[in-house]
Each structure stands twice: as structure tokens, then as C-alpha cells.
């Protein structure tokens, strides 16, 4: 009897504690956001920083009122959003409207849970093709970009002045590295970026990878190796700090904001923070290996409309979406989000309002979608291997060539 009891206790303990950890990952997540109530439309976005009283919160609510319904908005972390979307779709209660990070669109399309924008009658003709690209699968668009952002190099004017570096002279990798060395000689720190082992790390690495002429389907070709070697050399020569391996884009920004770094690779969304940094800053486009601007990846979300059983809801949904993205409203929306608009007409208005956006508009024009060019859901597999390779090489675990060889082999196996 005692044995039996012990067996039971131990078995329950052992399996119970473990399954609670593992299983909640597979079975959890039922939200009450089914949107069955008439007159209430559910809306998910990855902007938890904006509450109901924020400009964005009011804008969403206002678009609901205009359409004659109530919009129930739920904001969650961007990495959560994709998983929650899949679970909600599985349980048949996907939201009416969902804003998702652009590389997630292809995954959701593959899952079969998004409507084509053409079927809904949404117009995407004025959207810049390179921005729309991330949402296009087999020739059809599955979402409308609400705005775009991308990466560029912020620099600290004071430090460059002290070190005797003219930012206008930074045209390619060689001049950038030379500038970093001058800064180091002057006793300051060179450049900070994010090389963390998540999608953010790949996002930040891509301008250098593409700027070298790298090809995502051949990670380990000499161009890709050159890009990784550039980062690796910066870290091993002390031109970039070792903790880039752990930096998110936010912590990398915080490093730059200490005023001790000459350069920081970051995005449009930091512009408001840059003004508060307490030192004069400038922005240049990320240089390509042999001169010119490197193509940076497009960031920003797409407005998508998940498939509903009650197709009658689409009419109102369309009104809400149009309210957010119609040319007249786009300016207000993107100013709220600190994004570059996805149409050239609105971009011009933005530059007129705020001249600081000029380099960003040109960076967005040169940017590429991560899942574009038919990569689709192959991109997440490649990206994961790419950030793993970056981590292995920068930490000294592997040489850039060996790290990218392993990444290419793994991506080929899984892709």
C-alpha cells in the first residue's frame, strides 16, 4: 500500500510539474475575443505600449465608431501575436482585424487563415511594391502595410567631432571601419547593434548581409561570409561591444543613448527618443560593402483580415480597415506610430512636416521585405539559422565561414 502510494505521489509529481510547463504551450490560449456579439469587432495589434487613451487607441476606437460598431482592441507582444493568432484560428475565434509584423504574414497565409485583400475589395495599388512585397504570396496580397520602418545608423555628432570623423565621408565598409577606429583611438566606443538570438538579430544583420550582395538561399557564399566577418572583426577588435550578442534593439538603443557610442544601428521608431537623448545626433543610411546604401529589411505591420465563418462581417471590417489606411487618414496613423508611410504621396507630406524623416524615407525606398522574392515561409527557417550563425561567430565559437556553412546545411535540411 505504501509503495503504491509512493509510486503514485512520485509519478504525479514528476509528470505533473513537467507537463504543466510543456503542455500549456500546446493547449493554452482561449480568448473570449470571438467577436460573436453583434456590433462588436475584435482587433489585435502588437502595440501594448499604446493604451486606450493613446492617440493610436483613440484612432482605432474612432474608426469603429465611424463604421457604426464598437471595436474591442487587444494589444499583445509581437512574438505572442503570431502564436495567439494560430491558436485562435484553430479554435475558430480569430479576430476580425489583426495587425501583424510583416514577416509573419507568410506564415499566416500558409496556415490558410487570411483573406486576400483583393477578395475584400481593399485597394493596394498606391502602396510601394517593396513594402507590399512581404504580404504578397503567389501574386496575391494578403494584407495592407499600415506603415514601414527600417534601419539606419544614428551617430553622435559630438563624438565624431572629437574623433575628427566627417559622417559625410562614410560611403562604404572600409570608411566606416576606419571611422570606428578613429573613434576608438579618441577613447570612445565605436558602434552598437543587436545580434541577439532572435528575429531581431537577423533583422539587424540583414543590411550588412544584403549590402555585401548576400543571398538568403546561399548563406555561406563569400558575400555572406564577408558580412559576418565584418561584424566579427568589429567585436574582436573592440570596435563594437561584446554584449551586442545579448542586445535587443531596445537595449542597443539604451547603450547608444548613454552618449558613449559613436554609432548605433536602429530604426525609425527611435526618432522620438533620439530627440530626448541629450546630445546632437545625425542619421546616415547603412553603407553597402562597396559604396552606396545597403538595402535594409522593411519593418512594420500589415493590416490583415482573418477568415471568418460569418462572412457578413467583412463589410464592416472593410470600413474599419479603410478608415485606418485610406490616403487621407494614413498621415495621421503613421505620425501616431512614428512610421514612414507606405505610399510616396504621404511620404512627401511627412517630410514636409518633419525634415528629419528624409533619410528614413530614402532608406524605406531602398528596403526589401524579408519574405519577399518568393521566400515566404522559407524565410523563418533561414533566419533562425542565420541568427544562430551570427551568435556562434561573434561569441568565438566558430569562424564566420564554419558558422554559415553549418547554418546553410541546417536551413537546407529543414527548408
Smallest gap, in angstroms, from Cβ of residue 242 to other proteins?
A: 5
Smallest gap, in angstroms, from Cβ of residue 172 to other proteins?
A: 28
Residue 255 binds other proteins (CB under 8 A): yes
Query: For residue 119, how far is the Cα from the chain centroid?
Result: 27
- How many residues are present in the chain? 415
Residue 83 binds other proteins (CB under 8 A): yes
Closest CB to other proteins among 293 and 385? 385
| DSSP annotation string for 135-184 | GEETTEE--EE--BB-EEEEEEHHHHHHHT--GGG--SHHHHHHHHHHHH
Answer for which of 25, 49, 53, 125 binds other proteins (CB under 8 A) is 25
Answer for which of 45, 96, 199, 334 binds other proteins (CB under 8 A) is 199
Answer for which of 54, 61, 74, 86 binds other proteins (CB under 8 A) is 86
Answer for which of 63, 69, 71, 89 binds other proteins (CB under 8 A) is 89
Question: Is the CB of residue 257 less than 8 Å from the CB of residue 273?
Answer: yes
Strands 151-156 and 281-284: antiparallel
Closest CB to other proteins among 152 and 195? 195
Residue 168 binds other proteins (CB under 8 A): no
Residue 241 binds other proteins (CB under 8 A): yes
Residue 16 binds other proteins (CB under 8 A): yes
- What gap in Å lies between CA 294 and CA 288, rounded to an integer? 4
Smallest gap, in angstroms, from Cβ of residue 357 to other proteins?
A: 28
Q: Hey, which residues does 71 pair with through a beta bridge?
A: 41
Helix (H, G, I), strand (E, B) or coil at 340: strand
Q: What is the C-alpha end-to-end distance of the chain, expressed in Å?
A: 53
Smallest gap, in angstroms, from Cβ of residue 134 to other proteins?
A: 11
Q: How many CB atoms lie within 10 A of CB 13?
A: 10
Angle at Cα 386 formed by Cα 385 and Cα 392, nearest 5°?
A: 85
* Per-residue contact string for residues 103-142; x = within reach of other proteins by CB under 8 A: xx--xx-xxxx-----------------------------
Residue 379 binds other proteins (CB under 8 A): yes
Pick the piece of the chain touching other proteins (CB under 8 A) from 133-141, 211-219, 359-367, 382-390: 382-390
Closest CB to other proteins among 1 and 355? 1
Closest CB to other proteins among 277 and 331? 277
Place of cell 505572442: 80
Question: Is the CB of residue 87 less than 8 Å from the CB of residue 68?
Answer: no
Angle at Cα 204 formed by Cα 388 and Cα 390, nearest 5°?
A: 25
Q: How many CB atoms lie within 10 A of CB 173?
A: 21
Using CB under 8 A, list all residues that contact other proteins. 1-27, 79, 82-83, 86, 89-90, 103-104, 107-108, 110-113, 196-199, 241-243, 245-246, 255, 377, 379-381, 383-384, 388, 391-392, 394-398, 406, 410
Amino acid at each position: 500500500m505504501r509503495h503504491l502510494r509512493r509510486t503514485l505521489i512520485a509519478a504525479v509529481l514528476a509528470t505533473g510539474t513537467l507537463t504543466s510547463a510543456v503542455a500549456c504551450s500546446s493547449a493554452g490560449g482561449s480568448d473570449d475575443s470571438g467577436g460573436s456579439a453583434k456590433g462588436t469587432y475584435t482587433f489585435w495589434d502588437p502595440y501594448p505600449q499604446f493604451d486606450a487613451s493613446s492617440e493610436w487607441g483613440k484612432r482605432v476606437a474612432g474608426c469603429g465608431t465611424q463604421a457604426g460598431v464598437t471595436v474591442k482592441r487587444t494589444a499583445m507582444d509581437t512574438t505572442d501575436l503570431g502564436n495567439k493568432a494560430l491558436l485562435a484560428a484553430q479554435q475558430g475565434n480569430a479576430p476580425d482585424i489583426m495587425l501583424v509584423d510583416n514577416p509573419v504574414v507568410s506564415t499566416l497565409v500558409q496556415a490558410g487563415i487570411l483573406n486576400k485583400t483583393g477578395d475584400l475589395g481593399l485597394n493596394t495599388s498606391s502602396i510601394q511594391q517593396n513594402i507590399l512585397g512581404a504580404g504578397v504570396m503567389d501574386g496575391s496580397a494578403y494584407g495592407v502595410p499600415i506603415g514601414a520602418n527600417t534601419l539606419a545608423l544614428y551617430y553622435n555628432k559630438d563624438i565624431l567631432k572629437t574623433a575628427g570623423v566627417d559622417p559625410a565621408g562614410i560611403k562604404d565598409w572600409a570608411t566606416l571601419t576606419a571611422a570606428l577606429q578613429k573613434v576608438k583611438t579618441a577613447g570612445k566606443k565605436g558602434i552598437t547593434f543587436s545580434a541577439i538570438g532572435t528575429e531581431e538579430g537577423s533583422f539587424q544583420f540583414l543590411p550588412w548581409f544584403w549590402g555585401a550582395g548576400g543571398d538568403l538561399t546561399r548563406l555561406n557564399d563569400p558575400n555572406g561570409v564577408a558580412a559576418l566577418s565584418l561584424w566579427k572583426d568589429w567585436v574582436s577588435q573592440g570596435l563594437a561591444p561584446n554584449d551586442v550578442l545579448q542586445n535587443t534593439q531596445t537595449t542597443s538603443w539604451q547603450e547608444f543613448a548613454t552618449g558613449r557610442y559613436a554609432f548605433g544601428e536602429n530604426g525609425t521608431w527611435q526618432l522620438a527618443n533620439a530627440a530626448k537623448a541629450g546630445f546632437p545626433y545625425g542619421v546616415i543610411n547603412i553603407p553597402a560593402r562597396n559604396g552606396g546604401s545597403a538595402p535594409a529589411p522593411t519593418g512594420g505591420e500589415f493590416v490583415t483580415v482573418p477568415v471568418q465563418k460569418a462572412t457578413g462581417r467583412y463589410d464592416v471590417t472593410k470600413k474599419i480597415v479603410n478608415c485606418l489606411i485610406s490616403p487621407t487618414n494614413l498621415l495621421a496613423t503613421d505620425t501616431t506610430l512614428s512610421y514612414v508611410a507606405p505610399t510616396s504621396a504621404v511620404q512627401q507630406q511627412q517630410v514636409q512636416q518633419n525634415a528629419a524623416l528624409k533619410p528614413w524615407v530614402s532608406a524605406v525606398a531602398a528596403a526589401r521585405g524579408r519574405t519577399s522574392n518568393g521566400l515566404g515561409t522559407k524565410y523563418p527557417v533561414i533566419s533562425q539559422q542565420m541568427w544562430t550563425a551570427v551568435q556562434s561567430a561573434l561569441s568565438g565559437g566558430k569562424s564566420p565561414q564554419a558558422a554559415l556553412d553549418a547554418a546553410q546545411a541546417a536551413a537546407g535540411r529543414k527548408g
